[in-house]
Amino acid sequence: MSEREPWSLRIIAWNLWELRGDLHALVETLQDLRPDIVLVQEAPRFVLPTTRLSWLARQIDRRVLLGGLGGRGLAILATDDVAAQVIRRGLQPVPQRITDLDSTYPRGIAAVRLSIPGGGAVMVSSTHLALQEENRLTHAAQLAELVEGAGAPAIVGGDLNETADGAARQALEPLLSDPAAQTEHTFPAADPGRRIDAVLTTTGVQVRAAHAVTSTTRVPTERLAGASDHLPTLLDVTL
């Protein structure tokens, strides 16, 4: 890559349902889409989490930048070219108010800072907001603090557990916005009626495409609906 060329990236955010769905459809979908970065939510947590995540990475010829045991269900996978640009990486836990069994699911923010060939940097993050609005607002505030402190453009993908008019999403506007049409629904995968998964961007990110994935070359809509209970969401950007 010439230092004068812009850096184009394809980013997929996907709640993988802890790999409980049709693994052949899941792997073939990612192989067909050929993402540079995969932002994972609900990665395996209980049974051999590191081994199973590494298996998935091998199937799609990607490297695990973050995730596995202790990853709070989050992971970031990437190509070797992207991995070579990593400046630093880390997982930040997000505190929650425990009100029910659902609120015991660990939440966090997985983030990597990448050097942009030719100059500059970008922060890329995977996150999974809580089911409870109060906890989502706490999560959004912590996420906003991280993005504001990055000193660089940011891309945040995840299962946000609310649509664009939700309180946490509104708190993040206009710092982080969803460039895709809100009619690009992602959940539930079998009959999508809401867009609760998105890849959000700050200013300084040139978006070329943004949409929910409903099928690929080898994976029709019916098979993709069995890969997870969420559909993947795609973002093509130039930095």
pLDDT at site 102: 82
pLDDT at site 1: 46
Beta bridge partners of 66: 76
Two tokens, residue 206:
């040139």
- Could you tell me the mean pLDDT of each successive run of 10 residues in the chain, 239 residues long? 74 98 98 98 96 98 97 98 97 94 92 95 98 97 97 97 98 96 98 98 95 98 98 97
**Going from the N-terminus, what domains does the chain have, and what CATH number goes with each?**
8-238 (3.60.10.10)
Neighbours of 150 (CB within 10 A): 16
pLDDT at site 174: 87
Closest CA relative to residue 158, chosen from 36, 65, 50, 74: 74
pLDDT at site 63: 98
User: What whole-number distance in Å separates Cα of residue 115 and Cα of residue 88?
Assistant: 10
pLDDT at site 147: 97
pLDDT at site 4: 56
Angle between helices 23-33 and 49-59 (to 10 degrees): 50
pTM for this model (two decimals) = 0.96
